[in-house]
């Protein structure tokens, strides 16, 4: 299955290459202008801060194109095939390896000397790992996100917890006591569509990916134990096997008093659940062998078809200055990628933001391999067979590991 997906992407690029052969480069229309593709809400807001860059660099103009996330991947594939991509592109961190492997991204390694802000040491360790592919620096972290525990303080206090659970044992115990409040009440909600969540548990159990192994080290006891722990919440009725009502409503109703999410959820709860003010908080995720979460976000890369690499580097450099990152955070609510930015009072003195900052220190990235999206989705499919279909954990994981190994051969 994995091989078919990989071949499908390759075939798409080949077909598009044939259709679009002969088209000109998609860089800015004149020598002064660089084109920037940015996704989602960031794309809608980037123009404002890009104008400040133009004020400081009158010799460079920036043409920002906002692209909906749902169209972004296909549009990027077309750009690779046609060589009509932008000069600068925003890439989700899990897409970096795919486009780097296709030769679509400029190697920025030689520019670190003149732009020390591009050095890996400036970024959280997890984010720094998303910068590289095959020994080359192919992206610079723009903003980051991580997952933390959202919990109802009032309901946890009712079952004897004055603080959020900090270990796997406490998480299971608190979940059991919260679920015991009555029928159709749960303790800890796990989003069964979230590809990264099973791996967060695995990292907490001291699991590490090994990209040298074809099965990525997914046969390690630490990984198996983590999946057993994950699935136990469903088997014991502590997590719902059906999506049911929206998580915000379920949180308000106390039906699902604990869940894992990212920084975007803070504003959502403030706006949609104002009556819960002072009744909820966030905490670092509970640990088993170590504290761990995931790190995501977006990087800036330069398309290999660009003829304006130096101008593009100047733009990325501006966007990654600490002052610019703080200004962008205030405009967009996305978290700065530069570690130094987290020493600024806007972040350090805010209790919730400081929690995200602390979690980022131990957050991990997914491996920079091809077909990562498929590897993650196939694990969710395997877990569904266990939690809904009643399949044996070990047998289902053995089948999953074989599929991963086959895909990487």
List pLDDT tens digits, range 29-75: 688 999 999 998 889 999 999 999 999 999 999 999 999 989 999 99
Q: CA 157 to CA 163: how far, in whole Å? A: 8
What stretch of H or E contains 142? strand 140-146
- Residues 191 and 259: their CA atoms lie apart, in Å, by 8
Residue with tokens 């630490």: 222
d(CA 344, CA 153): 28
pTM: 0.89
How far is residue 223's CA from residue 337's CA, in Å, rounded to a whole number?
Answer: 29
Nearest partner of 177 among 150, 197, 152, judged by Cα: 152
Q: What value does the mean pLDDT take over residues 249-276?
A: 96
| Three-class DSSP category at 261 | strand
pLDDT one-digit tens code per residue, 42-55: 899 999 999 999 99
User: Contact 290/166 with Cβ under 8 angstroms?
Assistant: no
Residues 320, 338: contact at Cβ < 8 Å? yes
Biggest CA-to-CA distance, the chain: 69
Angle at which helix 40-56 crosses helix 322-332, to 10 degrees, equals: 140
152: β partners:
280
Q: What is the DSSP string of 361-389?
A: TTEEPPP--TTHHHHHHHHHHHHHHHHTT
CA distance 257 to 247: 9
pLDDT digits (tens, 9 = 90+) for 115-169: 999 999 999 999 999 999 999 999 999 999 999 999 999 999 999 999 999 999 9
* Residue 317 dihedral angles phi and psi, to the nearest 5°: -60, -45
Confidence grade of residue 304 (pLDDT, cut at 50, 70, 90): very high
Q: How confident is the model at residue 11 (pLDDT cuts 50, 70, 90)?
A: very low
Q: Could you identify the residue written with the tokens 């999953």?
A: 400
Contact 287, 166 (CB under 8 A): yes
210-241 pLDDT, tens digit per residue, is 988 888 999 999 999 999 999 999 999 999 98
CB-CB contact of 49 with 328 (8 Å): yes
Q: What is the pLDDT of residues 173-206, one digit of tens each?
A: 999 999 999 999 999 999 999 999 999 999 999 9
Residue 147 · residue 263 · CB < 8 Å: no
Q: What is the mean pLDDT of residues 110-117?
A: 95
Contact 204, 225 (CB under 8 A): no
Q: Per-residue confidence at 28, pLDDT binned at 50, 70, 90?
A: low
């Amino acid at each position: 299955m994995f091989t078919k997906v990989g071949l499908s992407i390759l075939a798409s690029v080949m077909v598009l290459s044939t259709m679009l052969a002969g088209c000109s480069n998609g860089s800015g229309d004149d020598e002064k202008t660089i084109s920037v593709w940015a996704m989602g809400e960031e794309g809608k807001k980037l123009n404002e801060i890009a104008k400040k860059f133009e004020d400081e660099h009158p010799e460079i103009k920036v043409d920002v194109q906002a692209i909906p996330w749902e169209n972004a991947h296909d549009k990027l594939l077309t750009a690779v095939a046609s060589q009509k991509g932008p000069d600068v592109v925003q890439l989700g961190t899990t897409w970096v390896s795919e486009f780097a492997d296709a030769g679509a991204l400029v190697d920025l390694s030689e520019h670190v000397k003149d732009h020390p802000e591009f050095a890996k040491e400036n970024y959280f360790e997890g984010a720094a790992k998303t910068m590289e592919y095959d020994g080359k620096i192919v992206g610079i972290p723009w903003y980051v996100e991580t997952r933390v525990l959202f919990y109802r303080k009032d309901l946890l206090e009712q079952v004897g917890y004055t603080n959020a659970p900090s270990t796997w044992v406490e998480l299971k115990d608190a979940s059991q006591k919260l679920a015991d409040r009555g029928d159709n009440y749960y303790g800890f909600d796990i989003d069964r569509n979230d590809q990264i969540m099973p791996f967060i548990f695995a990292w907490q159990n001291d699991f590490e990916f090994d990209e040298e192994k074809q099965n990525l080290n997914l046969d390690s006891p630490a990984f198996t134990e983590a999946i057993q722990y994950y699935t136990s919440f469903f088997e014991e009725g502590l997590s719902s096997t059906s999506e049911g009502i929206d998580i915000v409503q379920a949180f308000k109703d106390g039906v699902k008093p604990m869940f894992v999410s990212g920084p975007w959820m803070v504003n959502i709860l403030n706006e949609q659940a104002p009556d819960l003010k002072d009744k909820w908080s966030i905490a670092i995720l509970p640990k088993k062998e170590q504290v761990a979460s995931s790190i995501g976000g977006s990087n800036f890369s330069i398309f290999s078809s660009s003829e304006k690499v130096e101008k593009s580097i100047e733009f990325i450099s501006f966007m990654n200055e600490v002052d610019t990152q703080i200004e962008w955070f205030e405009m967009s609510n996305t978290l700065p990628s530069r570690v130094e930015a987290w020493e600024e009072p806007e972040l350090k003195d805010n209790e919730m933001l400081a929690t995200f900052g602390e979690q980022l220190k131990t957050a991990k990235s997914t491996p920079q391999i091809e077909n990562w999206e498929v590897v993650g989705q196939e694990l969710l499919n395997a877990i569904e067979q266990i939690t809904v279909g009643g399949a044996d954990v070990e047998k289902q994981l053995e089948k999953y590991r074989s599929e991963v190994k086959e895909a990487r051969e």
